Structure 1
Amino acid sequence: MTRRIVRTIVQVATAAVFTFVVVFFLDRNFRVLPNALHEFLPTHHPGFVITDITITSCSTYNLFSSCNLDPEVWHRIEKDLYLGKATFSSAFLHVRRKREEQLTAEDRVVVDVSVGRLDPGAKGGKSVNSPEEKWESRPSGLWVKRSSKKGASDSKEAVTGVDLLFGDDATEARPGWTIMGTPLLLDAGRSIPVAHVTIKRGAEKAMPKVVPRVGDNGKFKIMQLADLHLSTGVGHCRDSLPEDYNGGKCEADPRTMEFVSKVLEDERPNLVVLSGDQVNGDTAPDTQSAIFKYAQLLIKHKIPYVSIFGNHDDEGSLSRAAQMELIETLPYSLSKAGPPGIDGVGNYHLEILARGSSDHSAITLYLLDTHAYSPNENKFKGYDWIKKNQIDWFHETAQSLKKNHKQYTHVHLNVAFIHIPLPEYRDGNLTFVGEWKEAVTAPVYNSGFRDALVEENVVMVSCGHDHVNEYCGLSMNEDRPALWMCYGGATGFGGYAGYGGFHRKIRIFDFDMNEGRITTWKRVEYGDTERRLDELIIVDAGRPIAPMQE
């Protein structure tokens, strides 16, 4: 009898430990499941309306708690409200949704959402809710108003999408979506960014059609934003100068966005190129919230933009592919994943059309993914390189466009943007203008992309990655100028800048298609903010030229 009791106790204890492990690793940390299932699940499809919303919480202390609901009824938004930072707790938002044609007389459609401690429908301590539409309490201060009125699903108030964003500086970039003000009431510490519910009402909003084109004056201006290093939440400043700025208080992302906004308003670019490391992956447990910061600002200014990835972008919650899938859907985004079967995500080109109503290309931008870290550290330490199939794609694309480019009545210009610099940036014989403050962290292996650029008449390439290098260097073919290789100069306060008192920069490229000329300069965040730094003509009459001697 005693042995049987002992055996039973051991079996129960073993089962409890097994349950603890399963709950902790599978229920709490959903990323152990395949990324394709969980990294980016849309919360709305055309034709769906939301019929209910709730929150579940679970704890590893309580083996009977669960963050799951019946998947046949509820859709779980795969973002832990604690962002995986609470040691023993997790919580998830769930929505019930139906297609409009499947709604029954018993179904009630969500027409409003609120967050707070008190009933939003109560005034003076008394409820003013109508029987048909009353506020219903849900966990974490969430309130839901549902309507059973006929036609509620067709009204402009019907909620058709629900999502989560994080941080005190969270912002929406999607048309038709609204953040519900107050963050959810969670027992999270200060180190965990607050969670906001955001909703979409009604049908999908039409996207503005954007066709970048040279102005009637023959000008086109590109702003390069290099290394924004945005976080989930306001972020922490690194190497910010001056140290007593704003009383010594520096929030990285708000200061970065303020800098970008000022230069956008001053320079009024026709296009923005985001050249990688927009997201500071290890401080962005919700990558979507970080992306929306720069996207919302560019959408607000109605400026088209293209983006490529750096080595840190996909170190957060979303892969390159999932990020690009999201970015492609945003207003004013001209970003593309690029052709399948080519290494990387974001190998594509963009045509800037000639002035007027012409359909001829005046400027071609080539954008390529430079990947992240070396796939063979034993042989080639450091960073990855542009692969042969990318270079082949570039050659094929450039050759296929030549016939069309020849129809342009002025000089057509080809330029390129990448994140990690090419090995030739290390060339000590470069004629360069600007500051070279740190070692060039280009890949050790040289795959030959610099020569491919020259062969296809690309006159300039610009990168990011090395934050405090901010020069343009002229690469030569024997004694003939062949290619300008520039740095953007780091923009974001969430990334390092600790070499020689660096102030954040933004690089501008001004195209004068009347002359086939490219002029570049930088704008600085602090100090002489109005001045154009290191202004330089790098291309004239369609050819790279040496800098003028003073």
Structure 2
Amino acid sequence: MNCSIGNWKHTVLYLTLIVSLLYFIESLISHKLHINYNKIRLKRSPNLPLRFRDDGTFKILQVADMHFGMGMITRCRDVLDSEFEYCSDLNTTRFLRRMIESERPDLIAFTGDNIFGSSTTDAAESLLEAIGPAIEYGIPWAAVLGNHDHESTLNRLELMTFLSLMDFSVSQINPLVEDETKGDTMRLIDGFGNYRVRVYGAPGSVLANSTVFDLFFFDSGDREIVQGKRTYGWIKESQLRWFQDTSIQGHSQRIHVNPPALAFFHIPILEVRELWYTPFIGQFQEGVACSIVQSGVLQTFVSMGNVKAAFMGHDHVNDFCGTLKGVWFCYGGGFGYHAYGRPNWHRRARVIEAKLGKGRDTWEGIKLIKTWKRLDDEYLSKIDEQVLWETSDSFLK
């Protein structure tokens, strides 16, 4: 009898020890096993479709080459000695906030090298910080990749996936095509970040539910080997076929011409080098770093006729606009303080504004597209304002 009682006590003690041990382990790892519903939330989407304002304008802020690293601990490059000690990525953030508050853009276009991959140990965290002001102000934004974004912890597909899922983003991984058997599927196309953003007419106008402005975003790649030579990437034939197909699809029957379009990508095309020998507006201070491959971009833009201007980054101390066969090619100018630049040469941003034409009693299609730049100086100085495209034609049938 005493032996049975002793065995029973030992069993109880043993079970108590096991339960206590399991409880201790569960308390250590429960946060990894249980879903924390408080942290699950949906992406905050912008009001879509994008459209012109009541005053007939639509404004885009181009941000080129932020080269964001890890915030406060990432130092500036190519600034005055007197500025260096207190200069970091936070200066880039401050500049972006100033531009948003000054210009109140309807869309921000980040044209690549948004982060400097080799200067961050967490690409996603750096992107959240870099693009943070756009999200903070609730402004729709779109992004493409440059040749440095992927040099950290995310590859190009992962980067565009992450960018497309961030708050207020209208970025896409790649265009979708309708398939009757499979539903929407992603088109097979070179690169990641090729997509179209439509802008509708002003509220209450006859074109309020029609596309009056097209914005095309392209992945210009990073580095490639061509005939044994290392060169920069370029926009490929599959991307240009998609652009051609998309340009002629889905426009309102009320418009008798393709709406004007703009293009955004990071690496300039080869022909931009020819602008050195032509009149241009702005500063041409370094060689055009581009692919040795003739991409066919210019020929395609000219043949389609809808792209009035293309906006690039990559070469930070170039900020000029010049025309090639009737199409403007414009640099944004270096925006970020961790990107290379020149001491005493202010970081800068480009603004593009489109204006609708006024009919007898309604806003019509786009009549004017112009651009200017602002410097990150004391006054956010406005420079090099110019008209890129203007028409006197009527847009309605």
TM-score tier, shorter chain, comes to 0.7 to 0.9
1:443 aligns with 2:291: yes
1:228 paired residue number? 66
2:118 is aligned, of 282, 299, 313, to 282
Q: How far apart in 1 are the matches of 2:138 and 2:125?
A: 20
CA contact (8 A) 2:46 2:140 kept: no
Provide the residue aligned with 2:171 in structure 1.
Answer: 335
- 1:455-507 per-position Cα deviation (integer Å, ceiling 9, x unaligned): 2221000100000000001113xxxxx10000000100111113x74211100
How far the C-alpha of 1:384 sits from its partner, in A, is: 1.4
Partner of 1:258: 94
Partner of 2:347 in structure 1?
504
Q: In the alignment, what sits opposite 1:210?
A: 47
The alpha carbon displacement at 1:411 in A equals 8.1
Structure (1/2) with the larger helix percentage: 2
Which residue of 1 is the match for residue 311 of structure 2? 462
How far apart are the structure 2 equivalents of 1:260 and 1:442? Answer: 27
Counterpart of 1:396 in structure 2 is 245
- Matches of 1:208 and 1:385 in 2, distance apart? 31
Q: 1:52 to 1:267 in 2, by over 3 A?
A: farther
Shift of 1:372: 0.4
Q: What is the TM-score with the length of structure 1 in the denominator?
A: 0.59
Q: Is the 8 A contact 2:247 2:258 kept in 1?
A: no
- Aligned residue identity for 1:96: K
The Cα of 1:410 is off from its aligned counterpart by 9.3
Q: Which of 327, 332, 336 is the equivalent residue of 1:488?
A: 332
Runs of 4+ in 1 over 6 A off after TM superposition: none
Show structure 2 runs of 5+ residues with no match.
1-25, 176-186, 358-365
Work out whether 1:352 is the aligned partner of 2:199: yes
The residue number in structure 2 matching 1:385 is: 234
> Within 2, Cα distance between the matches of 1:314 and 1:539?
35
Give the equivalent residue in structure 2 for 1:174.
Answer: none
- Aligned counterpart, 1:268: 104
1:3-43 C-alpha deviation (Å, 9 max, x unpaired): xxxxxxxxxxxxxxxxxxxxxxxxxxxxxxxxxxxxxxxxx
Residue identity matched to 2:389:
V
Number of the residue aligned with 1:430: 278
1:518 aligns to 2:369 (yes or no): yes
| Mapping of residues 354-373 of structure 1, within 5 Å | 354-356=201-203, 358-373=208-223
Contact 2:269 2:295 in 1 (8 A): no
For residues 99 and 189 of structure 2, the distance between their equivalents in structure 1, rounded to whole angstroms, comes to 35
1:153-232 aligned at under 5 Å gives the runs: 159-160=36-37, 201=38, 203-205=40-42, 207-211=44-48, 212-232=50-70
1:300 Cα deviation after fit:
1.2
Amino acid at match of 2:32: R
Q: State TM-score, norm by structure 2.
A: 0.81
Change (3 A) 1:53 1:313: farther
Taking the aligned partners of 1:256 and 1:373, their CA distance within structure 2 comes to 26
Residue among 57, 62, 77 paired with 1:238? 77
**Change in CA separation of 1:97 and 1:416 when aligned onto 2, cut-off 3 Å:** same
Q: How big is the alpha-carbon RMSD for the aligned residues of Structure 1 and Structure 2?
A: 2.2
Partner in structure 2 of residue 317 of structure 1: 153
Do the aligned residues in 2 keep the contact of 1:232 with 1:287 (CA within 8 Å)?
no
Does 1:295 pair with 2:138? no
CA distance in 2, matches of 1:53, 1:421: 53
Query: In the aligned structure 2, how far is the partner of 1:343 from the partner of 1:437?
Result: 31
- Answer yes or no: is 1:97 the counterpart of 2:24: no
Distance 1:52 1:312, change over 3 A: farther
Provide the rounded CA distance (Å) in 2 between the counterparts of 1:452 and 1:505: 30
Give the structure, 1 or 2, with the largest relative contact order (CA under 8 Å, sep 6 or more): 2
**Residues 46 and 139, structure 2, Cα contact 8 Å, conserved in 1:** no
Compute the displacement of 1:53 (Å). Answer: 5.9
CA gap of 1:233–1:294, structure 2 versus 1, over 3 A, is: closer
Q: Secondary structure at the match of 1:400?
A: coil
Change (3 A) 1:444 1:272: same
Provide the secondary structure at the position in 2 that maps to 1:536. strand
Is the Cα contact below 8 Å between 1:214 and 1:220 reproduced in 2?
A: yes
CA deviations 1:59-92 (Å, max 9, x no partner) are xxxxxxxxxxxxxxx8xxxxxxxxxxxxxxxxxx
Name the CA distance, whole Å, in 1 between partners of 2:368 and 2:66: 28
Matches of 1:542 and 1:249, distance apart in 2: 53
Cα distance, 1:409 vs. partner? 8.1
Distance 1:53 1:334 in 2: 40
In structure 2, the CA distance between the partners of 1:53 and 1:225, relative to structure 1 (3 Å rule), is farther
SS in 2 for 1:425: helix
Q: Whole-Å Cα distance in 2 between the matches of residues 464 and 251 of structure 1?
A: 22
Cα distance change of structure 1 residues 206 and 369 upon mapping to structure 2, 3 Å threshold: closer
Q: For residue 507 of structure 1, give the secondary structure of its aligned residue in structure 2.
A: strand
- Structure 1 position 417, deviation (Å): 0.4
Query: In 2, Cα distance between the equivalents of 1:342 and 1:542?
Result: 37
Distance (whole Å) between structure 2 residues aligned to residue 412 and residue 405 of structure 1: 10
Compared with structure 1, are the counterparts of its residues 455 and 410 closer, same or farther at alpha carbon in structure 2 (3 Å cutoff)? closer
Q: State the one-letter code of the partner of 1:440.
A: V
Kept after mapping to 1: 8 A contact 2:71/2:129? no
How many residue pairs align between the two structures? 342
